[in-house]
């Protein structure tokens, strides 16, 4: 009887070890390929040999890379943008994956606690009051974190299931933020500021510079590294409050850490990219279908898929038409049907 | 491990559900908690597990008050086996069992080879190695329950708390799970379990606690505590307790008893 069960062909491959090769391919090779392939794309043509010699020239001082425009395009325009896309994609994916576990719900996205609506409000405020680009980013970042702090403080006043309290107050604060954003749009100068707010809310990486890529990298590391280190505990947290506690988890403390880190990641991402939906929801799903729900493997795979997905979408955004297509629109237009396709083909549950 | 409740009053905020609970248990004992719905079995368990603070009284493990223990210290002493239900994510059985090791791991650590060995030992104890490559959410209720027991064993606690471990299981699985429970007690674990079936207490426990609204109704050996009169008072039903003629393998060699429900017209008798 036991033997027959063992030999059954349809045994689902549960353990991550079976998929190890697949995991390495996804985690290591895919991002490298996407990274290199993204350089030649764009209005100014760059050949792969040019790119390689420019990169070599940067790394090894004795190699003479190409001069002039090519160098500028590669290092001042494309490199920051490529890195920004990869950072934003991985940050949203980590935050989404962590929240999905914490809320025990695979349909949760990183903006569940109001981080995105907060960022939108912050950006709208800054544009309304004519801040410069850096000012807009800082304001988006700060208001995004403020929104989550308000959600956390308010939810602690509700003496019931803490995760449900968080979800509900998250919806409340998120709604308030988007209402205020709408109010600002209504009041804003329709020829100048209204389009600026609208475009920001649709998301774009067109304005990133090496400087703000660096600052958001620091923020994202602050949020991402602790989550990555704590990833085994995220498994236990996803079993639910009481079960996790009886297994030795200080759930209250861990929940706070997850919220702080995910908020830093989300705020750090949307403050340079504008509002980008779907990535944080869909990428952890995809990763889970590939390698299962164990965060030990799920998180690195989510990071890899998230960075590649965002980068490819951004490549499309800047090459499909002569004008930029807003990133937030593309992530959904590509993401939704793709997601449906995955749902049809996926064998594993989510 | 010695386990003692001293004048425990438990409940939520200021509404006491249970009052004046005191008892002691030694290693290897199985306590079966019986009582109608809503008498506070779950509240009692949550208090013992430290999920809610006792309103009064003390919970002592080997004489040490657990009031201010960290969650991980608590989990190293006392393990909990919930009723089998689906998790939100389709974890592999091995991952599920390894999660039992969390209380023994550092904050940033994942289970090591040593933890895997311990998990495998738990799997062998329950004889469920054929489940290892399966996915938890795709198992049957009985299989899930066995995996959850294995997870609790991997946690290496000295006391196991089970909240109605057999409530969702078919007849065969109920008996399988319960005989594992008894075997674990023989190996030195102290076990506290809730049940709705007095027969389980007759078969599988060394001690029985009866709860009614507000407190303790009876505490002691099953054969002394579970009586026809008591069950009538507790549950409002008539049963006849019969001797099966089968000798129990507990030390006192008493005869195994069973409850048989009576039809209402026999009430008078």
Q: Which of A335-344, B68-77, B112-121, B230-239 has the lowest mean pLDDT?
A: A335-344
Q: What is the ipTM of this complex?
A: 0.91
Q: How confident is the model at residue B268 (pLDDT cuts 50, 70, 90)?
A: very low
pLDDT reported for residue A255 = 94
Q: What are A83's two structure tokens?
A: 């890195």
Q: Touching check for B99 and chain A: CB below 8 Å?
A: yes
- Smallest CA–CA separation between A296 and chain B, in Å? 8
**Is the pLDDT at B191 greater than 60, yes or no?**
yes
Over the stretch A196-235, which tens digit does the pLDDT of each residue have?
A: 999 999 999 988 888 889 999 999 999 999 999 999 999 9
Which percentage of chain B shows pLDDT scores above 90?
A: 49
Residues of A in Cβ contact (< 8 Å) with B133: 11-15
Summarize pLDDT for B154-184 with one digit per residue, the tens. 999 999 999 888 887 888 888 888 888 888 9
A229–chain B nearest CA distance, Å: 5
Q: What is the CA angle B173-B178-B182, rounded to 5?
A: 150
Which pLDDT band holds residue A10 (cuts at 50, 70, 90)?
very low
Tell me what pLDDT residue B216 has. 86
What is the pLDDT, as a whole number, of residue A61?
73
Residue B75 reports pLDDT greater than 50: yes
Average pLDDT score over chain A: 87
Q: What's residue B215's pLDDT?
A: 82
Q: Which of A248, A256, A288 would best serve as a mutation to test chain B binding (most B beta carbons within 10 A)?
A: A248
With CB atoms and an 8 Å threshold, state whether A11 touches B99: no
Chain B residues near residue A12 by CB distance under 8 angstroms: 133-135, 138
Whole-model pTM? Answer: 0.89
Flag if B102 and A348 touch (Cβ within 8 Å). no
pLDDT at position A55 over 70: yes
Q: Where are the alpha helices (DSSP H) in A203-326?
A: 210-229, 231-237, 241-246, 251-273, 279-291, 295-319
What's the pLDDT score for residue A16?
46
Cα B1 to Cα A130: distance, rounded to the nearest angstrom: 69
Q: How confident is the model at residue B250 (pLDDT cuts 50, 70, 90)?
A: low
Read off the pLDDT of each residue in A133-149 and give the average, rounded to a whole number: 93
Task: Provide the CB-side half-sphere exposure for B118 (13 A, CA).
Answer: 20
Q: Which residues of A touch B50 (CB under 8 A)?
A: 245
* Chain A nearest C-alpha distance from B170 (Å): 19
Q: Average pLDDT for residues A136-165, to the nearest whole number?
A: 92
**pLDDT score of B155:** 96
B213 touches chain A (CB under 8 A): no
| pLDDT in the model for residue B172 | 86
Task: Return the pLDDT at A9.
Answer: 36
Structural domains of chain B in order of their starting residue, each with its CATH number: 3-223 (3.40.50.300)
pLDDT over 80 at A14, yes or no: no
Query: Is residue A2 over pLDDT 80?
Result: no
In the prediction, which pLDDT does A6 show? 39
Q: What is the mean pLDDT of residues B200-216?
A: 86
Q: Return the pLDDT at B258.
A: 87
Does the pLDDT of residue B255 top 90, yes or no? no
Task: Give chain B's mean pLDDT.
Answer: 89
Across B51-68, average pLDDT: 91
Write down the pLDDT at residue B86: 76
Residue of B nearest to A10 (CA): B134
Check residues A36 and A45 and name the one with the higher pLDDT: A36
Six-digit token string for A199: 């475009």
In terms of CA atoms, which chain B residue is nearest residue A1? B130
**B35-55 pLDDT tens trace:** 898 888 989 999 999 999 999
* Residue B102 with chain A: CB contacts under 8 Å: 232-233, 236, 247-249
Contact A246 B80 (CB under 8 A): yes
* Confidence band of A8 (pLDDT split at 50, 70, 90): very low
Give residue A11's pLDDT: 40
Cβ–Cβ gap A247/B138 under 8 Å: no
Chains A, B: CB contacts within 8 A come to 112
pLDDT for the residue A15: 47
Chain A positions touching B74 (Cβ under 8 A) are 246, 248
Nearest one of A191, A183, A212 to A124, comparing CA atoms: A183
Q: Do A292 and B92 touch (CB under 8 A)?
A: yes
pLDDT band at B265 (very low <50, low <70, confident <90, very high): low
Tell me, what's the pLDDT at A65? 65
- At B130 the pLDDT is 96
The two three-digit tokens of residue A308, written as one number:
């590649």
pLDDT band at residue B251 under the 50/70/90 scheme: low
Shortest CA distance from B111: residue in chain A: A232
pLDDT in tens, A303-345: 999 999 999 999 999 998 888 899 989 998 888 888 788 777 6
**B71 reaches A (C-beta below 8 A):** yes
| Range ranked top by mean pLDDT from A108-117, A158-167, A245-254, A319-328 | A245-254
Tokens 């850096």 sit on residue: A134
Q: What is the CATH number of domain A17-34+110-345?
A: 1.10.3470.10
> Residue B253: its pLDDT value, please?
66
Contact A248 B80 (CB under 8 A): no
Average pLDDT over residues A96-107: 91
B135 touches chain A (CB under 8 A): yes
Question: Which pLDDT value is given to residue A58?
Answer: 78
Q: Please state whether beta strands B214-220 and B207-212 pair in parallel, antiparallel, or not at all (unpaired).
A: antiparallel
The minimum CA-CA distance between B193 and chain A, rounded to whole Å, is: 15
Q: Which residue of B has its CA nearest to A254?
A: B107
Domain spans of chain A? 17-34+110-345
A248:B71 CB<8 A: yes
Which pLDDT does position B269 carry in this prediction? 42
* Residue of A2, A233, A239 lying closest to B87 (CB–CB): A239
Chain A residues inside the 8 Å CB shell of B78: 246
CA distance, residue A228 to nearest chain B CA (Å): 9
B70 touching chain A per CB within 8 A: yes
Cβ of A248 within 8 Å of Cβ of B155? The answer is yes
Share of chain B above pLDDT 70, in %: 96
Binary contact (A15, B82; C-beta < 8 A): no
**Mean predicted confidence (pLDDT) in A179-185:** 96
Query: According to the 3-state scheme, what is the secondary structure of chain B?
Result: CCEEEEEEEEEECCEEEEEEEEEEECCCCEEEEECCCCCCHHHHHHHHCCCCCCCEEEEEECCEECCCCCHHHHHHHEEEECCCCCCCCCCEHHHHHHHHHHHHCCCCCCCCHHHHHHHHHHHHHHCCHHHCCCEHHHCCHHHHHHHHHHHHHHCCCCEEEECCCCCCCCHHHHHHHHHHHHHHHHCCCEEEEEECCHHHHHHHCCEEEEEECEEEEEEECHHHHCCHHHHHHHHCCCEEEEEEEEECCCCCCCEEEEEEECCHHHCCC
| Whether residue A4 has pLDDT greater than 70 | no
Among chain B residues, CA nearest to A105? B88
d(CA B90, CA A16): 12
On chain A, the residues whose CB falls within 8 A of the CB of B82 are: 242-243
pLDDT band at A180 (very low <50, low <70, confident <90, very high): very high
Q: How confident is the model at residue A5 (pLDDT cuts 50, 70, 90)?
A: very low
Residue A20 scores a pLDDT above 90: no
């Amino acid at each position: 009887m036991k033997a027959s069960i063992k030999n059954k062909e349809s045994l689902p491959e549960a353990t991550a070890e079976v998929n190890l090769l697949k995991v390495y391919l996804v985690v290591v090779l895919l991002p490298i390929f996407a990274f290199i392939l993204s350089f030649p794309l764009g209005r100014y043509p760059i050949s792969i040999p040019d790119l390689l010699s420019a990169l070599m020239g940067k790394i090894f001082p004795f190699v003479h890379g190409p001069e002039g425009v090519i160098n500028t395009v590669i290092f001042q325009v494309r490199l920051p943008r490529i890195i920004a896309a990869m950072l934003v994609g991985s940050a949203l994916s980590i935050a989404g994956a962590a929240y999905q576990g914490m809320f025990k719900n695979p349909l949760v996205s990183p903006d569940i606690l109001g981080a995105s609506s907060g960022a939108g409000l912050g950006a709208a405020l800054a544009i309304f009051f004519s801040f410069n680009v850096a000012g807009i980013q800082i304001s988006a970042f700060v208001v995004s974190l403020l929104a989550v702090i308000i959600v956390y403080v308010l939810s602690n006043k509700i003496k019931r299931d803490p995760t449900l309290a968080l979800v509900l107050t998250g919806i409340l604060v998120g709604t308030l933020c988007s209402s205020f954003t709408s109010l600002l749009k209504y009041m804003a100068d329709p020829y100048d500021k209204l389009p600026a707010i609208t475009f920001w809310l649709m998301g774009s990486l067109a304005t990133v510079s090496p400087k703000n890529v660096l600052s958001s990298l620091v923020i994202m590391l602050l949020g991402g590294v602790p989550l990555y280190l704590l990833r085994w505990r995220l498994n236990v947290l996803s079993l639910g409050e009481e079960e996790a506690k009886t297994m030795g988890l200080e759930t209250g403390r861990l929940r706070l850490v997850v919220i702080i880190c995910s908020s830093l990641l989300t705020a750090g991402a949307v403050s340079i990219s504008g509002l980008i939906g779907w990535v944080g929801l869909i990428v952890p799903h995809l990763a889970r279908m590939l390698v299962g729900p164990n965060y030990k493997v799920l998180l690195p795979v989510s990071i890899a898929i998230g960075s590649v997905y965002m980068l490819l979408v951004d490549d499309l955004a800047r090459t499909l038409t002569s004008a930029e297509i807003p990133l937030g629109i593309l992530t959904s237009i590509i993401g939704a049907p793709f997601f449906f396709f995955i749902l049809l083909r996926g064998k594993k549950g989510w | 491990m010695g386990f003692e409740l001293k004048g425990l009053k438990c409940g939520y905020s200021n509404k006491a559900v249970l009052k004046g609970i005191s008892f002691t248990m030694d290693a290897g004992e199985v306590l079966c908690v019986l009582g109608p719905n809503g008498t506070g079995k779950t509240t009692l368990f949550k208090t013992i597990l430290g999920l809610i603070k006792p309103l009064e009284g003390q919970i002592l493990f080997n004489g040490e008050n657990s009031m201010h223990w960290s969650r991980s210290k608590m989990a190293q002493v006392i393990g909990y086996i919930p009723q089998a239900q689906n998790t939100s994510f389709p974890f592999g059985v091995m991952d599920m069992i390894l999660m039992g090791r969390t209380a023994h791991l550092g904050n940033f650590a994942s289970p090591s080879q040593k933890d895997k060995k311990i998990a495998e030992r738990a799997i062998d104890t329950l004889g469920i190695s054929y489940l290892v490559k399966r996915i938890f959410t795709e198992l049957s209720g009985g299989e899930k329950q066995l995996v959850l027991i294995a997870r609790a064993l991997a946690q290496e606690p000295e006391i196991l708390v089970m909240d109605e471990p057999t409530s969702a299981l078919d007849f065969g699985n109920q008996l399988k799970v319960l005989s594992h429970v008894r075997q674990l007690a023989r190996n030195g674990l102290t076990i506290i379990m809730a049940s709705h079936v007095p027969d389980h207490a007759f078969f599988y426990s060394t001690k029985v606690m009866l709860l009614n609204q507000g407190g303790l109704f009876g505490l002691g050996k099953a054969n002394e505590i579970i009586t026809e009169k008591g069950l009538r008072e507790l549950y409002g039903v008539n049963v006849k307790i019969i001797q099966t003629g089968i000798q129990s393998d507990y030390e006192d060699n008493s005869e195994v008893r069973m409850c048989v429900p009576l039809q209402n017209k026999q009430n008078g008798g």
